Structures are given as C-alpha cells and as structure tokens.
C-alpha cells in the first residue's frame, strides 16, 4: 500500500526507483512489460494504482525471447478488474525539495466497464522544480600540488500536461483487442544555472572560470497503439502496432568568463547561443504466430518499423558546424 508505482518498485529486491529513473542493480535500465505488453510510455506506470498490482517479476538474465540489448526485465501483472459501471479517482501530490521549492502533481482517472468492454481516460499535470547542485574537489599530486574545484548550482523547471484515452474488449477467453491514443507535452522545460571552476597550484589561484547558462525548450509527443492477442483454433496470434510522433525545440545561452590568476581586468569573455528543432515519427508493427508441435510450440513472426527523423541545429558564433539532417530508416 504505497502512494504510487515508483514507491512500490523501490521496495522490490534488486530494483532502484527514484525521480523517474528505474534500474535493476548491476543490470542498468530494464525493459518493463505490463500484462505482457512492453511499456513504451513512462506515463503507463503513473496510470497504475499500486493496489491493483498482482505480481512484479524481476528477470536479471533475459533469454532469447528478448532483444540482445535488453539486460534486465520487469514484468508487472495487474489484478483482474471486477464489477461493471463507472469509477473515478483523483490524486493531488505536493512536495518540497531541499531548496524549499514547491512541486505539485495532479492526476484524474475515469473508467467505464461493461462486460468485456473497458473504456478508460487519464488526465495528468505536473509543475516541478528539480535542483541539481554539485561540489567536486580533485587533487593531483605531481611536482606541484594541483586542486581543481567545481561548484555547480542549477535547477530544472517543468510544466507537463498529459492526456490518454484507451479502449479494450475481451471476447471470451480467446480474444483480447484494444487501442489507445495519448498526448504528452512539456509546455515549459527550463533550466538555469551557474558553474564556478577554480584551479590552484600549491594553494595559489592559477585560473578561474565562471559559466552562466539558460536553457529553454518545449516538446510534444503523440502516441497511438492497437493490439490483438487471441487464439484461432490452436493458432495463437499476438499483434501490436504503434505510431509515435515527437518534436522538441529550444535555445540555450551560455556566458563564460575566464581569468588568469584572478586578474579580472584581463579576463576573457565568450557568449555562445544555440538553437535546436527536432521532429521525429515512428511506425512499428509486430506479429507472432504460435502453433503446438510435437509436444512443444513453433513460433514464427516478423517486425517492421519506419523511422523518420529531422534535426536542425545552429550555433552562434559557429564554434561547431551547424547541422541540418534527415534520417529515414526501414
């Protein structure tokens, strides 16, 4: 009985879950499956209620049924939904970080169930402040003693609205089909901070660098999915198709001041501004057919994916080449 899925997963042996990052110890980021279907959207976890979870399985040595790049798998099984009619759920979460900045989260779920039909909607909004401050000291003992110190103070601010509509239908024990569509936007993705670098030689200041930056961006993602899992006679059919569109754009301004031995009169300054604009879409489908054979099972299937990516990147002044590239893959 935890407040959310992240808290639940953090209590599973060998699993670490914090601030949206999920890892299996020694195995990195896992592939996550919910009721047998691979999770493509991190908000799929947010939509789940911990009280609805039947079983969580952690696989640290995935077999050949998973892609070779997958080092670990978490399989989540939910309880079978009971009863017909409408259900509503609303949750408000407030948190204060170590810099005494308030973050708020709001989620609203609505569900209608009748027989094998299940229609569900989910609305979510977040306004968050996440600090990322660091202090680093590195000593090098050579002919002279060198100290490199780095102090970073930065914070990320994000406004994130999200909406999803899904429908599924279970026809008897042999047919399960459904579809969903979602909208996920980062309406404000802002980061600002400062970095102070000092180099000391035998406790005497050798060089100082001060960097200040601002990074402002926005992103939008649309995702849709349709699936069918069923059995026709003895033939098992597992079909999934997804369409995903993602675009993000933003600019970054950096101002740097470098002084030798603390001499601000002869300090060198530099300003660098960059702009990016990326648009991507993907269409992917997968079909697996399985048939009992000689006491075992013979499976055959195929996958198809189309990926289209376009990226524009500009820097002023041109400390790096500007880029304008298009990638299309089948």
pLDDT at residue 106 in the model: 92
Does pLDDT of 270 surpass 80?
A: yes
Range 60-66 average pLDDT: 76
Does pLDDT of 320 surpass 70?
A: no
Range 223-252 average pLDDT: 92
pLDDT at residue 35 in the model: 80
For the chain, the C-alpha Rg in angstroms (whole number) is 25
Does pLDDT of 273 surpass 70?
A: yes
pLDDT at residue 109 in the model: 92
pLDDT at residue 68 in the model: 75
Q: Do strands 73-78 and 31-34 pair parallel, antiparallel, or not at all (unpaired)?
A: parallel
pLDDT at residue 295 in the model: 86
Does pLDDT of 119 surpass 90?
A: yes
Does pLDDT of 319 surpass 70?
A: no
CB 274 within 8 A of CB 314: yes
Percent of the chain with pLDDT strictly greater than 90: 45
pLDDT at residue 282 in the model: 94
Q: Residue 208 corresponds to which tokens in the numbers above?
A: 């100082």
Express each pLDDT in 193-226 by its tens digit: 999 999 999 989 888 999 999 999 999 999 999 9
Spatial separation of the C-alpha atoms in residues 242 and 157, rounded to whole Å: 30
Range 37-64 average pLDDT: 82
Express each pLDDT in 11-48 by its tens digit: 998 899 887 789 999 888 898 988 877 777 777 887 78
Spatial separation of the C-alpha atoms in residues 296 and 259, rounded to whole Å: 73
Q: How confident is the model at residue 262 (pLDDT cuts 50, 70, 90)?
A: low
Express each pLDDT in 145-176 by its tens digit: 999 999 999 999 999 999 999 999 988 778 88
Distances (CA, A) of 227 to 47, 65, 116: 19, 19, 16
* Phi, psi for 47 (deg, rounded to 5): -75, -20
pLDDT at residue 40 in the model: 73
CB 35 within 8 A of CB 77: yes
Percent of the chain with pLDDT strictly greater than 70: 98
- Please tell me which residue, 249 or 43, carries the higher pLDDT value: 249
């Amino acid at each position: 009985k935890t407040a959310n899925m992240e808290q639940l997963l953090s209590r599973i042996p060998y699993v670490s879950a914090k601030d949206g990052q999920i890892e299996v110890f020694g195995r990195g980021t896992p592939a996550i499956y919910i009721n047998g279907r691979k999770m493509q959207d991190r908000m799929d976890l947010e939509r789940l209620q911990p009280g609805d979870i039947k079983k969580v399985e952690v696989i640290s040595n995935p077999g050949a049924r998973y892609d070779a790049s997958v080092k670990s798998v978490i399989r989540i099984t939910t309880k079978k939904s009971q009863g017909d009619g409408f259900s509503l759920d609303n949750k408000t979460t407030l948190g204060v970080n170590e810099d005494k900045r308030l973050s708020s989260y709001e989620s609203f779920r609505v569900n209608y169930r009748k027989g094998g039909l299940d229609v569900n909607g989910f609305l979510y909004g977040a306004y968050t402040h996440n600090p990322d401050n660091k202090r680093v000291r590195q000593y090098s003992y050579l002919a002279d003693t060198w100290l490199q110190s780095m102090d970073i103070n930065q914070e990320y601010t994000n406004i994130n609205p999200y909406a999803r509509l899904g429908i599924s239908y279970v026809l008897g024990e042999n047919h399960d089909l459904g579809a969903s569509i979602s909208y996920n936007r980062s309406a404000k993705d802002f980061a600002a901070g400062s970095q102070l670098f000092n180099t000391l030689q035998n406790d005497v200041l050798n060089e100082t660098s001060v960097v200040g930056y601002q990074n402002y961006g926005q992103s939008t993602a649309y995702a849709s999915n349709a699936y069918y899992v069923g059995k026709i006679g003895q033939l098992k059919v597992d079909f999934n198709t997804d369409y995903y569109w993602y675009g993000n754009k933003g600019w970054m301004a950096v101002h740097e001041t470098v002084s030798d031995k603390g001499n601000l009169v002869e300090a060198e300054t530099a300003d660098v501004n960059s702009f990016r604009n990326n648009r991507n879409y993907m269409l992917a489908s997968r079909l697996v057919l399985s048939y009992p054979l000689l006491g075992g099972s013979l499976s055959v299937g195929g996958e198809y994916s189309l990926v289209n990516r376009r990226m524009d990147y500009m820097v002023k002044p041109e400390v790096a080449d500007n880029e304008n590239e298009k990638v299309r893959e089948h």
